[in-house]
Amino acid sequence: MRLRLTPREDSYYDLFADSANNLVTASRLLVEIISDGSDREALAEKMRACEHAGDERTHAIMNRLNESFITPFDREDIYRLASNLDDVMDYMEAAADLIGLYKIDHLPKEVVRQVEVLERAAELTAEAMPRLRSMSNLNEYWIEINRLENQADQVYRRLLAKLFGGEYDALTVMKMKEVIDQLEMAADAFEHVANTIESIAVKES
C-alpha cells in the first residue's frame, strides 16, 4: 500500500458504512413488502424513512467533501461511491412505493428471487464497507456482487417472459413491469457500487 505522509479525514468510512447498513434495512423491508398479507402501507412508510435516512447520509458525505482538504481517496471516487449507494436506495424505495400505489396484491414468485438477490447484495456491501479502511480482502466481494447481478439479469428476463406470456392483462403487465424494472436497476446499482470500490482499491494499491 502506498505510504501516506499526510493525515486523512476518516469519518467518510463511517458514513459509507452507515449508508450500506441502511440498504440492508431497506432490502429486508422489501422482503416483507412482497410477502402476502403484509401491511404494505406501514412498511412503505418505513421504507420512505430509510430513503430519507439515506439522503441524509449522502448529503453528509457531500458536505464533508466540500469542507475537507484531505480525503482518504480521490474526491471523485468519494462522490461516485456516495451517489451509487444513494441510487440503490432510490430504486428499492421506488419499487416498494409502486407496489403500494398500484395495489399489486400478488407478485410472480420470481420477484421473491429478485428481492433475495438484492438482500444478499446489500449484506455483502455492508460487510465490505469496513474493509475500505485497509483496502484488503475486497476481491471476493466484487466478484460475488458481479455473480449476483448476473443472476438478477436472468431472473429479470424470466419475469419479462412470464409477464408477456399471456397470463396477465395489459394493465397488470404495465404495473408489474415498472416494479421489476426498479428492482433490476437496484441490482445494477449494487454492481456499480462494487465496480467503484474495485476502482478505488486498484488506485490505492
Inter-CA distances, 120 with 10, 140, 145, 199, Å? 27, 14, 9, 22
Q: According to the model, what pLDDT value does residue 9 have?
A: 64
Q: pLDDT at residue 2 above 60?
A: no
Q: Spell out the residues 6+ positions from residue 15 whose beta carbon is closer than 8 angstroms to its own.
A: 57, 60, 61, 64, 82
Of the candidates 57, 61, 68, which has an alpha carbon nearest to the alpha carbon of residue 26? 57
Helix axes 109-128, 11-33, angle to 10 degrees: 160
CB-count burial class (<10 Å; 0-12, 13-18, 19+) for 158: middle
pLDDT of residue 7 exceeding 60, the answer is no
Q: Are 168 and 105 in contact (CB under 8 A)?
A: no
pLDDT of residue 3: 39
pTM: 0.92
Q: Which pLDDT value is given to residue 130?
A: 92
Please give the average per-residue pLDDT across 79-108, as a whole number. 95
Q: Read off the pLDDT band of 166 (50, 70, 90).
A: very high
Residue 145 to residue 42: CA distance in whole angstroms = 30
For the record, the C-alpha cell of 182 comes out as 426498479
Q: Where does 2-74 have alpha helices with state H? A: 11-33, 40-67
Give pLDDT, residue 8: 53
Distance, CA of 53 to CA of 56 (rounded, Å): 5
Q: How far is CA 10 from CA 7, 14, 17, 47, 78, in A?
A: 9, 8, 12, 29, 12
Per the prediction, the chain carries an average pLDDT of 92
